[in-house]
């Protein structure tokens, strides 16, 4: 999984601690668990000292890990807890991964609960312990980072502790960066759980951990972090709105000068149709797309669809296990516009991924009555690559999207995205508007059945009536690059801004939930909000 091997050094060399509650391949539920792997490797390739810390959950095998000689003591309320430190290495890299082993808190099935949608009752205690232990880990290693970069609510208290009990310690010049990947997951607990932080009541007020009479780990992190990042410029703007801010929009508006969007990337060594091990010998590139037709026929054969290269294939791929308004619009009791697309347009339609049982029932029914529709559940990595290679269009009608790599994969394989203008979509897809010049996909602005259907119809009509424009768009799409090195460079600018704020060289804001807080969301000039794609030569 190593992404960059060659190390280059420009500017200061930072010591960066990535603080995560999940990490691929050790334990993963969220997509950020994979993103942290890539961004860490990209930062190391740029010459920085990156290390990662996470809990040692029950399912993580310790057999080949090194055990630290001494246990680590952590004050949790009025008691002192002890944990064991294990040392591993991120596979195919030399990046250290430290795992904190506490049998009572983490020696159980599941990361946040025994099953999806069910949380453990003691999560406040578990992750307060983890955030406190992070500082003791650094002391045990005699390694104080320049940057503590934490991710999502479970690591949020690291940012609070830096400005409270660690304010005047050996961490006094350590800056904090907090990445919000999912603003809906906030870590909300009863106020009684505040005792585990070992902080005073004054600290409860100062840290702004309290929100609506409850402890809110995410609220505290967003108020206290020196810099805040979101997974795209679009998502950074969206979470500052009442509609998509999950109750934290006013706080985020007040911190808009410290909030930036850093667009994640993909690994183009793994996603390259010219050298894709899963496609050989039918690989192709933007210089010659003939084998894309062979990939289409192979996909049609795989799913027992009519093998006709002239028929456009539309795919949807993702995690549809949770009910979402976007898919309610498509699926509904009568299959809504998805049925209309399959019935009224001369297309083949494939949906793959994880499914909510309600959706799965509807999709199975649609497959029974429409010969041009397939539900693709039994697929592996090789078939996923074939899916992107063989399709003509990707439909992503997500109502909001922090960051989604799916449309970037599809661009690389010449499969044109049809997307809702949310999150990172406007940063990664160039909309077709009567002229294919520079366009790489189709964007619709309203989340309605009519708008989805009309945009799909426009794409299909262009496919049949102007194939030269489709070919030009495919070639343009395949030339786009959204790589991890550029993301890493943007994070370095964020880190410098965080250090400037922490060490007093630049004024920072403090979170404010007052209704009279700043109403204008600024342009986030402290670090680049937008990552422009670059046209790259063929691999």
Token digits for 329? 């619009």
Q: Which of 429, 492, 349 is nearest to 47 (CA)?
A: 492
CA distance 251 to 235: 15
Sheet holding 214-216, edge to edge: 188-189, 214-216, 210-211
Q: How many angstroms separate the Cα of 101 from the Cα of each of 59, 112, 267?
A: 12, 15, 31
Please, are residues 433 and 439 in contact by the beta-carbon 8 Å criterion? yes
Please, are residues 413 and 299 in contact by the beta-carbon 8 Å criterion? no
Q: Which of 64-68, 135-139, 202-206, 256-260 has the lowest mean pLDDT?
A: 202-206
pLDDT number for residue 494: 97
Buried b (16+ CB within 10 A) or exposed e, 358-396: ebbebbeebbeebebbbbbeebeeeebbbbbbbbbbbbb
| C-beta neighbour count of 69 within 10 angstroms | 7
Cis amide linkage into residue 281, ω under 30° from 0: yes
Helix and strand numbers, DSSP H then E, in the chain: 18, 19
Confidence of residue 295 (pLDDT cuts 50, 70, 90): very high
Nearest 5°: the CA angle 408, 409, 412 is: 85
Token digits for 443? 């964007």
Q: What is the pLDDT of residues 300-330, one digit of tens each?
A: 999 999 999 999 999 998 877 665 556 677 7
CA distance 289 to 486: 28
SS3 call for 261:
strand
Confidence of residue 462 (pLDDT cuts 50, 70, 90): very high
Please, are residues 46 and 492 in contact by the beta-carbon 8 Å criterion? yes
pLDDT at 482 over 70: yes
pLDDT at 447 over 60: yes
Can you tell me the mean pLDDT for 78-84? 94
| C-beta neighbour count of 191 within 10 angstroms | 12
Confidence (pTM): 0.86
Token pair 């250090």 is found at: 499
pLDDT at 50 over 90: yes
Is the CA virtual torsion 108, 187, 28, 321 positive or negative?
positive
CA distance 158 to 176: 8
Task: Indicate the helix (H) or strand (E) that contains 320.
Answer: strand 313-320
Q: DSSP state, 454?
A: H
pLDDT number for residue 437: 86
Q: Are strands 66-67 and 72-76 parallel, antiparallel or unpaired?
A: unpaired
Cis amide linkage into residue 25, ω under 30° from 0: yes
CA distance 55 to 53: 7
CA distance 74 to 83: 8
SS3 call for 532:
coil
In degrees and rounded to multiples of 5, residue 177 shows phi and psi of -125, 130
User: In 369-517, at which residue ranges do the beta strands (DSSP E only) sit?
Assistant: 373-376, 393-396, 416-420, 442-444
Residues composing the chain: 539
Q: Which of 431, 432, 384, 382 is nearest to 409 (CA)?
A: 384
Please, are residues 298 and 313 in contact by the beta-carbon 8 Å criterion? no
Confidence of residue 9 (pLDDT cuts 50, 70, 90): low
pLDDT number for residue 537: 40
Q: Give the highest mean pLDDT range of 13-27, 225-239, 522-536.
A: 13-27
Can you tell me the mean pLDDT for 393-397? 93
pLDDT number for residue 134: 98
pLDDT number for residue 321: 67
pLDDT number for residue 201: 87
Report the interhelical angle of 484-502 vs 32-45 (nearest 10°). Answer: 80
Q: What is the pLDDT of residues 329-376, one digit of tens each?
A: 776 555 558 888 999 999 999 999 877 777 788 888 889 999 999 998
- 53, with CB counted inside 10 A (0-12, 13-18, 19+), is buried
pLDDT at 198 over 80: yes
SS3 call for 308:
coil
The 3-class secondary structure across 185-230, one letter per residue, is CCCEECHHHHHHHCCCHHHHHHHCCEECCEEEHHHHHHHHCCEEEE
Q: Give the highest mean pLDDT range of 257-266, 292-301, 433-442.
A: 292-301
CA distance 14 to 493: 12
Token digits for 44? 């190391």
């Amino acid at each position: 999984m190593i992404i960059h091997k060659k190390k280059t050094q420009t500017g200061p060399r930072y010591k960066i601690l990535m603080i995560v509650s999940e990490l691929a391949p050790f334990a993963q539920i969220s997509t950020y668990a994979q993103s942290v792997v890539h961004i860490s490797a990209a930062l190391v390739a740029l010459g920085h000292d990156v290390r990662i810390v996470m809990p040692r959950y029950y399912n993580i095998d310790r057999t080949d890990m090194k055990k630290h000689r001494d246990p680590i003591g952590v004050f949790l309320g009025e008691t002192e807890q002890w944990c064991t430190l294990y040392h591993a290495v991120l596979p195919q890299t030399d990046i250290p991964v430290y795992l904190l082993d506490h049998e009572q808190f983490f020696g159980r099935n599941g990361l946040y609960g025994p099953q999806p949608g069910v949380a453990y009752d003691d999560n406040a205690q578990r992750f307060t312990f983890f955030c406190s232990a992070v500082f003791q880990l650094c002391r045990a290693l005699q390694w104080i980072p320049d940057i503590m970069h934490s991710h999502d609510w479970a690591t949020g208290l690291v940012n609070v502790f830096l400005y409270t009990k660690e304010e005047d310690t050996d961490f006094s010049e350590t800056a904090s960066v907090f990445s919000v990947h999912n603003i809906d997951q906030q870590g909300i607990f009863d106020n009684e759980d505040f005792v585990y932080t070992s902080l005073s009541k004054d600290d409860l007020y100062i840290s702004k951990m309290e929100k609506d009479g409850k402890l809110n780990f995410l609220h505290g992190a967003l108020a206290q972090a020196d810099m805040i990042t979101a997974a795209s410029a679009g998502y950074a703007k969206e979470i500052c709105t009442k509609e998509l801010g999950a109750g934290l929009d006013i706080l985020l508006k007040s911190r808009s000068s410290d909030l930036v969007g850093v667009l994640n990337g993909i690994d183009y060594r793994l996603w390259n149709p010219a050298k894709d091990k899963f496609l050989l010998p039918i690989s192709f590139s933007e210089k010659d797309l003939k084998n894309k037709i062979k990939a289409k026929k192979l996909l049609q054969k795989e799913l027992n669809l009519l093998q006709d290269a002239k028929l456009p294939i539309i795919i949807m791929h993702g995690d549809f296990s949770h009910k979402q308004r976007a898919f309610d619009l498509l699926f509904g009791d009568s299959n809504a516009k998805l049925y209309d697309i399959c019935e009224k347009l001369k297309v083949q339609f494939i949906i793959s991924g994880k499914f909510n049982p309600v959706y799965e029932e509807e999709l199975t029914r649609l497959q029974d009555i429409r010969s041009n529709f397939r539900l693709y559940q039994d697929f592996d990595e090789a078939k996923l690559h074939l899916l992107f290679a063989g399709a003509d269009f990707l439909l992503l009608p997500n109502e909001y999207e922090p960051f989604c790599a799916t449309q970037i994969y599809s661009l690389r394989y010449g499969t044109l995205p049809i997307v809702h203008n949310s999150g990172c979509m406007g940063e990664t897809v160039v909309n077709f508007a009567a002229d294919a010049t520079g366009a790489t996909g189709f964007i619709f602005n309203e989340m309605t059945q009519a708008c989805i259907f009309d945009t799909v119809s426009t794409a299909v009509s262009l496919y049949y009536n102007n194939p030269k424009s489709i070919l030009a768009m495919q070639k343009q799409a395949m030339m786009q690059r959204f790589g991890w090195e550029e993301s890493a460079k943007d994070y370095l600018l964020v880190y410098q801004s965080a250090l400037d704020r922490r060490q007093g060289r630049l004024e920072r804001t403090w979170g404010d939930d007052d209704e009279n807080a700043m109403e204008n969301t600024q342009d986030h000039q402290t670090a680049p909000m937008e990552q422009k794609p670059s046209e790259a030569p063929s691999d």
